Each structure stands twice: as C-alpha cells, then as structure tokens.
C-alpha cells in the first residue's frame, strides 16, 4: 500500500510533490567543490581560474565543466573527472546544510508531502551525503547520475525523479523543483515541472529569471510551500 501522500499547500498554490536540488540548495557545497576543482586542475597542470569562473562549475555535469573550461575530451576528460572525484570524496561531508533546511525538509516530510532529491551528482554519492545530514529518511526517492555519469543532465534527473515518485505511489501532476542554477530552471521546464529559484545558493535573480517563483531564503520557501510556523 502506498503511503498517505498529501500535497504541499502554500502561497504559491498546491504542489503534488516537491523535488529538491542538493548543491547550493540543501548544502553549501561550493567551498568543497571549488577546492576539489582547484586540486584537480593543479594536478593536471591547467591554470586555475578565479572564483567566479570556478562557481560556474557548480551545477552542470563534471565532464561538461572540464570540456567547457579546459577543452578536455575523451580519456583525458574521464581522467580529470576521476581525479576530481577522488579529491571530492575526501572532503564531501564537510559541506554544511543551509540554515533552515533541516526544519523545512522535516516539516514537508511530516506533512506527508512526497519529496525527491534531484541532483546531477552520482546517485550513490548523493545518497551518502543526504544520509550524513540526517535527512535521508525524509526523502521518498533519490535521483542522480549513474556511476558512469550517465543521466546527469538536469532534465533527465528531474524526469527520473518524477518517474520514481510515480512508482512510489505519489502524484506528479503539479510537481515543483527547487534549485539554485539555470540548469534547474531549464531542466524543470523540459521535464514538465514548475520551478522555485533558491536565491541563497549560487545563482542570482537574473540567472533564475525563468523560474515561476524566487525564494530569498528557506523561510520564504517555507511560505511558498506552506510549511512556515
């Protein structure tokens, strides 16, 4: 028997299910990600760009970042991704959750709202990270890239999350994805979901302009989703 799922009802209306990005939405992972990119580029003898350029690496699949910045393709690209992942795994649990995130996620879960973690990160790593935060049991499903990095494009991740939610017995007729980058906005649109832009993350209002709503912080997101105190 399926759990007694209930929609989220807040100032933005009613949502049958809620999808949440990880990096820059639930966890402040930029310091960890940037340190891992710096170490990888240094190992490869590639000049390390400024912080603003490095921040553009937060969100898209790793292979795309190495290709777009350094022109790495094929085996060289795969080697860079493997090196990055080695550096990242050494420090990935150092990224803290944003203020207000635990209360928000737990409130949604306790209200019976079906929750999905939807990230371009490898799914097994995303699962480890969310379990480390103590929020793992709150999520109905977790969707990410495969171990060989297939399916990491945001539209594919969100589509898979919606499919997994449906398999779990949740309604996806009016799903909303919460994320902090344009990849989240574009991916949600392509997957047929609405989007709330998380302005506390790494994208600004201009980057997130295509989202149906913008939330300045987790308290505003709670109002949009109906979990405010």
Average pLDDT rounded to a whole number, residues 110-117? 98
* pLDDT higher at 95 or 148: 95
Q: State residue 24's pLDDT score.
A: 95
Q: Name the DSSP letter for residue 98.
A: P
Q: State residue 8's pLDDT score.
A: 94
Tens-digit pLDDT profile for residues 206-228: 999 999 999 999 999 999 999 87
Average pLDDT rounded to a whole number, residues 64-93? 94
Average pLDDT rounded to a whole number, residues 120-125? 93
pTM (2 d.p.): 0.91
pLDDT above 70: percentage of residues in the chain = 98
> CA 170, CA 143: separation in Å to the nearest integer?
15
> CA 144, CA 157: separation in Å to the nearest integer?
6
Average pLDDT rounded to a whole number, residues 165-186? 97
Average pLDDT rounded to a whole number, residues 62-73? 92
Average pLDDT rounded to a whole number, residues 195-205? 97
> CA 75, CA 9: separation in Å to the nearest integer?
48
Angle ∠(83,183,136) on CA atoms, nearest 5 = 70
Report the range of poorest mean pLDDT among 36-45, 57-66, 76-85: 57-66
**pLDDT surpasses 70 at 229:** no
Q: Which domains can be identified in the chain, with CATH numbers?
A: 8-28+96-225 (3.40.50.1000), 30-94 (1.10.150.240)
**pLDDT surpasses 70 at 2:** no
* pLDDT higher at 229 or 179: 179
**pLDDT surpasses 80 at 101:** yes
CA distances from 114 to 84, 162, 167 (A): 33, 10, 12
Average pLDDT rounded to a whole number, residues 4-22? 95
> CA 210, CA 10: separation in Å to the nearest integer?
20
Average pLDDT rounded to a whole number, residues 180-208? 97
| pLDDT band per the 50, 70, 90 thresholds, residue 1 | very low
């Amino acid at each position: 028997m399926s759990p007694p799922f209930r929609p989220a009802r807040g100032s933005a209306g009613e949502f049958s299910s809620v999808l949440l990005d990880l990096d820059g939405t639930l966890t402040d992972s930029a310091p960890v990600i940037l340190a891992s990119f710096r170490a990888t580029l240094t190992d490869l003898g590639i000049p390390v760009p400024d912080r603003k350029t490095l921040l553009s690496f937060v969100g898209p699949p790793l292979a795309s970042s190495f290709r777009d910045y350094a022109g790495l393709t094929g085996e060289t690209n795969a080697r860079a991704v493997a090196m990055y992942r080695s550096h990242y795994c050494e420090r990935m649990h150092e990224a803290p959750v944003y203020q207000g995130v635990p209360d928000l996620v737990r409130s949604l879960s306790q209200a019976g709202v079906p929750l999905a973690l939807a990230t371009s990160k490898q799914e097994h790593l995303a699962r480890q990270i969310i379990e480390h935060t103590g929020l793992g049991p709150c999520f109905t499903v977790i969707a990410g890239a495969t171990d060989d990095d297939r399916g990491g494009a945001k539209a594919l991740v969100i589509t898979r999350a919606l499919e997994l939610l449906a398999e779990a017995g949740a309604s996806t007729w009016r799903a909303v994805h919460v994320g902090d980058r344009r990849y989240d906005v574009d991916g949600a649109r392509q997957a047929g979901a609405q989007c709330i832009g998380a302005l506390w993350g790494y994208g600004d209002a201009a980057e997130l302009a295509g989202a149906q709503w913008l939330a300045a912080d987790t308290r505003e997101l709670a109002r949009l989703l109906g979990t405010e105190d």
